[in-house]
């Protein structure tokens, strides 16, 4: 098991300004970090990768698609822009040594059509991500599709559908992830959800129901960790939490009040919580 911390708790930047934070995360006992991949400055990612290697930290990346770069759009140009965006994000992962690129790569975050997904959208997304996976494979990066709750997207909302999506594409560089925050909203049975995606699952986000310190909220952690141990999950387990440090991100994630005593409390207590549950 590898334990990671998503840097979006503090920053959306990847440059030398985060080096002291990386050193602190290493001191806290983490195995790696999840880098925000929103800016495509290769030099910054290369420098960060060198720092991570110096510290002995592994890395994954996380990104999103926008309305102008949407894999399920009816507009061919918009779909091509989405493919280009994902390829650029893959390049940043390769530059930094990140092994996985995670996130809702299937469709634009926060964009709604007013109805459920269509068969045409399903096919469009699979086509774009199959092409992106070909590119990712060349760069030794695995694309990791994330399903989101119904308030953030309409295309993929549960583990079973997400697993079917990647299973049908059937590409070794396209898999999926499980996020306890979204599952807490959408899944009727946590154990069944994890078992339904076990053959496609390569990444886990540990996120509390209020996006604060894991273990201090309302997620059904007993069921979550029991299911992960049942399927012998042994990949990255990364804390994803959000605070008020980044106003734009706080607004996007609907964080209107402080949910934890400090970022250090969240990171250190969250790591201890994950280890205690997985090692018990």
| pLDDT per position as a tens digit, 100-113 | 999 999 999 999 99
Provide the residue count of the chain: 280
- Whether residue 206 is predicted with pLDDT greater than 90 in this model: the reply is yes
The helix (H) or strand (E) run that includes residue 103 is strand 100-103
The helix (H) or strand (E) run that includes residue 3 is strand 2-6
> For residues 30 and 267, what is the distance between their CA atoms, to the nearest angstrom?
9
Of the CA atoms within 13 Å of residue 155, those in its CB half-sphere come to: 26
| Banded model confidence at residue 90, pLDDT cuts 50, 70, 90 | very high
| Banded model confidence at residue 249, pLDDT cuts 50, 70, 90 | confident
- For the segment 74-82, the average pLDDT, to the nearest whole number, is 98
> For residues 124 and 178, what is the distance between their CA atoms, to the nearest angstrom?
23
> For residues 33 and 25, what is the distance between their CA atoms, to the nearest angstrom?
8
Hey, what's the torsion of the CAs at 118, 119, 123, 125, to 10 degrees? Answer: 20
| Chain segment 112-139, per-residue pLDDT in tens | 999 999 999 999 999 999 999 999 999 9
| Banded model confidence at residue 243, pLDDT cuts 50, 70, 90 | confident
- For the segment 159-187, the average pLDDT, to the nearest whole number, is 98
pLDDT confidence of residue 253: 84
| Banded model confidence at residue 245, pLDDT cuts 50, 70, 90 | confident
Question: Would you give the DSSP letter of residue 155?
Answer: S
pLDDT confidence of residue 108: 95
| Banded model confidence at residue 4, pLDDT cuts 50, 70, 90 | very high
Q: Is 126 within 8 Å of 185 (Cβ atoms)? A: no
> For residues 275 and 270, what is the distance between their CA atoms, to the nearest angstrom?
9
CA quadruple 86, 89, 95, 98: dihedral sign: negative
Task: Kindly provide the residue ranges of all beta strands, DSSP E only, lying in 121-240, ordered along the sequence.
Answer: 142-146, 174-179, 201-206, 236-239
- Whether residue 246 is predicted with pLDDT greater than 80 in this model: the reply is no
pLDDT confidence of residue 82: 98
> For residues 99 and 60, what is the distance between their CA atoms, to the nearest angstrom?
5
| Banded model confidence at residue 247, pLDDT cuts 50, 70, 90 | confident
Q: pTM of the predicted model, to two decimals?
A: 0.96
- For the segment 18-22, the average pLDDT, to the nearest whole number, is 98
- Whether residue 280 is predicted with pLDDT greater than 90 in this model: the reply is no
pLDDT confidence of residue 252: 80
DSSP string, 27-70: HHT-SEEEEE--S--HHHHHHHHHHHHHHT-EEEEE--BBTTB-
- For the segment 154-173, the average pLDDT, to the nearest whole number, is 98
What is the β-pairing status of strands 236-239 and 201-206?
Answer: parallel
pLDDT confidence of residue 244: 83
Mean per-residue pLDDT of the chain: 96
Q: Residue 153: what are its φ and ψ, rounded to 5°?
A: -165, 165
β-pair partners for 204: 178, 237
- For the segment 40-44, the average pLDDT, to the nearest whole number, is 98
What is the architecture of the domain spanning 2-279? Alpha-Beta Barrel (3.20)
* Exposed/middle/buried for residue 86 (C-beta within 10 Å: 0-12, 13-18, 19+): buried
């Amino acid at each position: 098991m590898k334990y990671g911390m998503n840097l979006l708790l503090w920053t959306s930047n990847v440059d030398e300004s985060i080096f002291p934070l990386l050193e602190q995360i290493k001191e806290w006992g983490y195995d790696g970090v999840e880098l925000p991949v929103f800016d495509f400055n290769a030099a910054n990612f290369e420098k960060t990768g060198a720092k991570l290697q110096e510290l002995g930290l592994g890395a994954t990346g996380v990104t999103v698609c926008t309305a102008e770069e949407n894999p399920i759009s009816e507009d061919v140009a918009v779909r091509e822009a989405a493919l280009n965006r994902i390829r650029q994000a893959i390049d940043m992962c390769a530059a930094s040594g990140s092994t996985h690129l995670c996130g809702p790569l299937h469709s634009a975050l926060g964009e709604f059509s007013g109805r459920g997904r269509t068969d045409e959208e399903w096919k469009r997304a699979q086509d774009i991500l199959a092409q992106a996976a070909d590119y990712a494979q060349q760069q030794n990066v695995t694309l990791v599709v994330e399903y989101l709750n119904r308030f953030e997207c309409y295309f993929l909302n549960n583990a079973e559908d997400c697993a079917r999506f990647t299973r049908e594409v059937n590409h070794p560089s396209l898999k999926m992830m499980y996020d306890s925050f979204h599952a807490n909203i959408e899944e009727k049975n946590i154990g069944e959800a994890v078992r339904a995606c076990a053959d496609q699952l390569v990444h886990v986000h540990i996120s509390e129901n209020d996006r604060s310190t894991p273990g201090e909220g309302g997620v059904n952690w007993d069921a979550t960790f029991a299911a992960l141990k049942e399927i012998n999950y042994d990949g990255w387990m990364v804390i994803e939490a959000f605070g008020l440090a980044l106003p734009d991100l706080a607004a996007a994630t609907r964080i209107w009040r402080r949910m934890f005593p400090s970022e250090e409390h969240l990171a250190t207590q969250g790591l201890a919580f994950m280890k205690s549950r997985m090692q018990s």
